[in-house]
Protein backbone atom coordinates (compact mmCIF):
# COMPACT_ATOMS: atom_id res chain seq x y z
CA UNK A 1 0.00 0.00 0.00
CA UNK A 2 1.42 3.38 -0.96
CA UNK A 3 2.13 5.94 1.76
CA UNK A 4 -0.79 8.33 1.09
CA UNK A 5 -3.36 5.55 0.72
CA UNK A 6 -4.62 5.49 4.27
CA UNK A 7 -8.02 4.77 5.72
CA UNK A 8 -9.96 4.13 8.89
CA UNK A 9 -9.10 0.80 10.51
CA UNK A 10 -11.71 -1.28 12.30
CA UNK A 11 -10.97 -4.23 14.55
CA UNK A 12 -12.62 -6.49 11.98
CA UNK A 13 -10.77 -5.11 8.95
CA UNK A 14 -7.11 -4.41 9.71
CA UNK A 15 -4.64 -2.85 7.31
CA UNK A 16 -0.94 -2.06 7.52
CA UNK A 17 -1.51 1.68 7.26
CA UNK A 18 -3.78 3.71 9.52
CA UNK A 19 -4.60 7.36 9.94
CA UNK A 20 -5.72 8.47 13.36
CA UNK A 21 -6.61 11.89 14.57
CA UNK A 22 -5.72 12.49 18.19
CA UNK A 23 -4.44 9.98 20.74
CA UNK A 24 -2.99 10.11 24.20
CA UNK A 25 0.00 8.00 25.28
CA UNK A 26 -1.43 5.29 27.51
CA UNK A 27 0.39 1.99 27.79
CA UNK A 28 1.33 -0.30 30.65
CA UNK A 29 4.97 0.74 30.12
CA UNK A 30 4.34 4.48 30.38
CA UNK A 31 6.46 4.90 33.51
CA UNK A 32 9.50 3.32 31.83
CA UNK A 33 9.19 5.60 28.82
CA UNK A 34 8.60 8.95 30.51
CA UNK A 35 12.34 9.58 30.60
CA UNK A 36 12.57 9.12 26.83
CA UNK A 37 9.68 11.54 26.29
CA UNK A 38 11.20 14.24 28.48
CA UNK A 39 14.62 13.83 26.90
CA UNK A 40 13.24 14.12 23.37
CA UNK A 41 11.46 17.32 24.30
CA UNK A 42 14.47 18.87 26.03
CA UNK A 43 16.97 17.96 23.32
CA UNK A 44 15.08 19.30 20.33
CA UNK A 45 15.96 22.89 21.27
CA UNK A 46 12.33 23.58 22.11
CA UNK A 47 11.41 23.06 18.47
CA UNK A 48 8.13 21.32 17.74
CA UNK A 49 8.31 17.91 16.16
CA UNK A 50 6.86 18.41 12.67
CA UNK A 51 7.53 15.46 10.36
CA UNK A 52 8.68 12.44 12.32
CA UNK A 53 9.91 9.00 11.25
CA UNK A 54 9.76 6.51 14.15
CA UNK A 55 11.82 3.42 13.21
CA UNK A 56 10.91 0.38 15.28
CA UNK A 57 7.89 2.22 16.75
CA UNK A 58 6.71 -0.86 18.71
CA UNK A 59 3.29 -0.12 20.24
CA UNK A 60 3.30 3.54 19.22
CA UNK A 61 3.81 5.14 22.63
CA UNK A 62 6.15 7.86 21.37
CA UNK A 63 3.98 8.28 18.29
CA UNK A 64 0.92 9.12 20.35
CA UNK A 65 2.87 11.49 22.58
CA UNK A 66 4.29 13.39 19.61
CA UNK A 67 0.81 13.93 18.20
CA UNK A 68 -0.51 15.49 21.39
CA UNK A 69 -1.28 19.15 20.90
CA UNK A 70 -1.28 18.68 17.11
CA UNK A 71 2.28 20.01 16.82
CA UNK A 72 3.22 17.12 14.54
CA UNK A 73 2.08 17.37 10.93
CA UNK A 74 3.03 13.84 9.90
CA UNK A 75 4.28 10.80 11.77
CA UNK A 76 5.32 7.56 10.10
CA UNK A 77 5.97 4.55 12.31
CA UNK A 78 7.77 1.50 10.92
CA UNK A 79 7.53 -1.75 12.90
CA UNK A 80 8.47 -5.25 11.76
CA UNK A 81 6.43 -7.01 14.44
CA UNK A 82 2.85 -7.53 13.33
CA UNK A 83 1.44 -7.83 16.85
CA UNK A 84 3.18 -4.63 17.94
CA UNK A 85 1.91 -2.79 14.86
CA UNK A 86 -1.66 -3.93 15.47
CA UNK A 87 -1.37 -2.91 19.12
CA UNK A 88 -0.25 0.57 18.03
CA UNK A 89 -3.19 0.79 15.67
CA UNK A 90 -5.73 -0.49 18.19
CA UNK A 91 -4.62 2.06 20.78
CA UNK A 92 -5.02 4.74 18.13
CA UNK A 93 -8.73 4.02 17.67
CA UNK A 94 -9.77 6.51 20.35
CA UNK A 95 -10.91 9.99 19.24
CA UNK A 96 -10.68 8.90 15.62
CA UNK A 97 -13.39 11.30 14.46
CA UNK A 98 -11.60 14.43 15.69
CA UNK A 99 -9.75 16.41 13.03
CA UNK A 100 -6.03 16.27 13.63
CA UNK A 101 -2.60 15.35 12.24
CA UNK A 102 -1.84 12.28 10.19
CA UNK A 103 -0.07 9.21 11.54
CA UNK A 104 0.75 6.15 9.49
CA UNK A 105 1.93 2.79 10.82
CA UNK A 106 3.67 0.43 8.42
CA UNK A 107 4.12 -3.23 9.28
CA UNK A 108 7.36 -3.85 7.40
CA UNK A 109 11.10 -4.08 7.91
CA UNK A 110 13.31 -1.01 7.71
CA UNK A 111 15.02 -2.56 4.69
CA UNK A 112 11.65 -2.59 2.90
CA UNK A 113 10.87 1.03 3.73
CA UNK A 114 11.16 3.18 0.61
CA UNK A 115 9.13 6.36 0.49
CA UNK A 116 9.76 9.70 -1.31
CA UNK A 117 9.65 11.69 1.92
CA UNK A 118 11.99 13.58 4.21
CA UNK A 119 11.58 14.20 7.90
CA UNK A 120 12.55 16.82 10.47
CA UNK A 121 13.17 14.15 13.11
CA UNK A 122 14.06 10.45 12.99
CA UNK A 123 13.73 8.28 16.11
CA UNK A 124 15.70 5.08 16.78
CA UNK A 125 14.54 4.26 20.29
CA UNK A 126 15.49 0.94 21.90
CA UNK A 127 16.37 -0.44 18.49
CA UNK A 128 20.11 -0.70 17.84
CA UNK A 129 20.73 -3.25 20.59
CA UNK A 130 18.74 -5.79 18.55
CA UNK A 131 21.11 -5.83 15.54
CA UNK A 132 24.80 -6.48 14.86
CA UNK A 133 27.19 -3.63 14.11
CA UNK A 134 27.14 -3.93 10.31
CA UNK A 135 23.34 -3.80 10.15
CA UNK A 136 23.26 -0.83 12.51
CA UNK A 137 25.72 1.07 10.31
CA UNK A 138 23.39 0.58 7.33
CA UNK A 139 20.35 1.46 9.47
CA UNK A 140 21.80 4.77 10.70
CA UNK A 141 23.06 5.67 7.21
CA UNK A 142 19.59 5.18 5.75
CA UNK A 143 17.93 7.07 8.61
CA UNK A 144 20.33 9.98 8.03
CA UNK A 145 19.35 10.16 4.36
CA UNK A 146 15.70 10.67 5.31
CA UNK A 147 16.50 13.79 7.36
CA UNK A 148 16.10 17.28 5.94
CA UNK A 149 19.07 19.61 6.29
CA UNK A 150 18.97 20.77 9.89
CA UNK A 151 16.91 17.74 10.90
CA UNK A 152 17.76 15.66 13.94
CA UNK A 153 18.19 12.00 14.72
CA UNK A 154 17.56 10.57 18.19
CA UNK A 155 18.83 7.29 19.65
CA UNK A 156 18.15 5.53 22.93
CA UNK A 157 19.79 2.22 23.86
CA UNK A 158 20.50 0.45 27.18
CA UNK A 159 23.80 1.15 28.92
CA UNK A 160 25.66 -2.19 29.34
CA UNK A 161 26.42 -1.23 32.96
CA UNK A 162 22.88 -0.08 33.71
CA UNK A 163 19.84 -1.94 35.09
CA UNK A 164 18.87 -3.11 31.56
CA UNK A 165 22.42 -4.17 30.65
CA UNK A 166 24.58 -7.23 31.21
CA UNK A 167 23.34 -7.73 34.78
CA UNK A 168 19.77 -8.13 33.52
CA UNK A 169 20.21 -9.71 30.08
CA UNK A 170 17.50 -9.68 27.44
CA UNK A 171 17.86 -12.55 24.95
CA UNK A 172 16.86 -10.17 22.15
CA UNK A 173 19.64 -7.69 22.98
CA UNK A 174 22.59 -8.94 20.97
CA UNK A 175 24.59 -5.72 20.75
CA UNK A 176 24.80 -3.65 23.93
CA UNK A 177 27.02 -0.61 23.35
CA UNK A 178 28.71 1.80 25.72
CA UNK A 179 29.23 5.46 24.84
CA UNK A 180 32.51 4.85 23.02
CA UNK A 181 31.06 2.01 20.95
CA UNK A 182 27.99 4.04 20.00
CA UNK A 183 30.25 6.94 19.04
CA UNK A 184 32.27 4.58 16.82
CA UNK A 185 29.08 3.27 15.22
CA UNK A 186 27.95 6.78 14.30
CA UNK A 187 31.37 7.46 12.80
CA UNK A 188 31.22 4.28 10.75
CA UNK A 189 27.82 5.34 9.42
CA UNK A 190 28.99 8.85 8.50
CA UNK A 191 31.73 10.94 10.10
CA UNK A 192 29.48 14.01 9.89
CA UNK A 193 26.97 12.19 12.12
CA UNK A 194 29.61 11.50 14.76
CA UNK A 195 30.94 15.06 14.67
CA UNK A 196 27.48 16.57 15.21
CA UNK A 197 26.40 14.06 17.86
CA UNK A 198 25.89 14.41 21.58
CA UNK A 199 25.90 11.23 23.68
CA UNK A 200 25.23 10.86 27.40
CA UNK A 201 24.30 8.19 29.94
CA UNK A 202 21.26 9.13 31.99
CA UNK A 203 20.34 7.99 35.53
CA UNK A 204 17.68 5.63 34.17
CA UNK A 205 20.41 3.40 32.71
CA UNK A 206 19.76 4.44 29.11
CA UNK A 207 22.28 5.96 26.71
CA UNK A 208 20.79 8.93 24.85
CA UNK A 209 22.26 10.30 21.63
CA UNK A 210 21.28 12.94 19.12
CA UNK A 211 22.81 14.23 15.91
CA UNK A 212 22.02 16.92 13.37
CA UNK A 213 22.21 16.82 9.58
Q: Where are the domains of the chain?
A: 30-212
Are 91 and 26 a contacting pair, CB within 8 Å?
A: yes
**Distance (Å, rounded) from C-alpha 177 to C-alpha 194?**
15
- What is the pTM assigned to this prediction? 0.78
**In the structure, what pLDDT confidence band is assigned to residue 83 with cuts at 50, 70 and 90?**
confident
Which of helix, strand or coil describes residue 207? Answer: strand
Predicted pLDDT of residue 147: 96
State the average pLDDT for the chain: 76
CATH ID of 30-212, from 3.40.50.800, 1.10.10.10, 3.90.226.10, 3.40.50.150: 3.40.50.150
pLDDT at 145 over 70: yes
User: Looking at the DSSP assignment, which residues form a beta bridge with residue 121?
Assistant: 52, 152
Q: What mean pLDDT is predicted for residues 116-126?
A: 92
| Cβ within 8 Å of residue 186, ≥6 positions away | 140, 193, 194, 197, 209, 211
Integer Cα distance of 188 and 205 in angstroms? 24
What is the rounded CA–CA span in Å between residue 113 and residue 83?
18
By percentage, how much of the chain surpasses pLDDT 70?
69
| Alpha helix stretches (DSSP H) within 54-148 | 61-66, 82-91, 133-145
Amino acid sequence: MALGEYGKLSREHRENVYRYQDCHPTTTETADLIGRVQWLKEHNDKRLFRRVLDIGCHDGFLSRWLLRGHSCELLVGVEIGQDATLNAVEQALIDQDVEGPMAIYLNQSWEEFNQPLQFTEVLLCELLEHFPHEENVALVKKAHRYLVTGGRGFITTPDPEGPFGVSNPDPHHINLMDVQQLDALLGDADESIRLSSHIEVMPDGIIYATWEK
